[in-house]
Amino acid sequence: MQRTPATADTATVSLDKPPPTRATRIRRWLRRRRRYAALHLLRGLCYGLGTGLVGLGFYWLQRLL
């Protein structure tokens, strides 16, 4: 026994959508990668601060000795 659709009208789907603009594609691409970009920025900030603090520590140690 086959199922019959609840309504007799079949939905018409238009496939004539205009392609997304370049700005829309870029916004979607950035939205998908926003979390990863934030993590990379945080990681870079931590590496930079750590390197700077170690450099200042060695500079201070050289001046002290």
Tens of pLDDT, residue by residue over 15-54, are: 788 888 999 999 999 999 999 999 999 999 999 999 999 9
pLDDT for the residue 16: 80
> Maximum CA pair distance of the chain?
93
pLDDT for the residue 48: 97
Under DSSP, the state recorded for 11 is P
2 or 58, greater pLDDT: 58
Q: How many Å apart are CA 34 and CA 49, to the nearest integer?
A: 23
- Residue ranges per domain, the chain? 22-65
Q: How many Å apart are CA 60 and CA 65, to the nearest integer?
A: 9
* Number of C-beta neighbours around residue 54 at 10 A: 10
Q: How many Å apart are CA 12 and CA 26, to the nearest integer?
A: 30
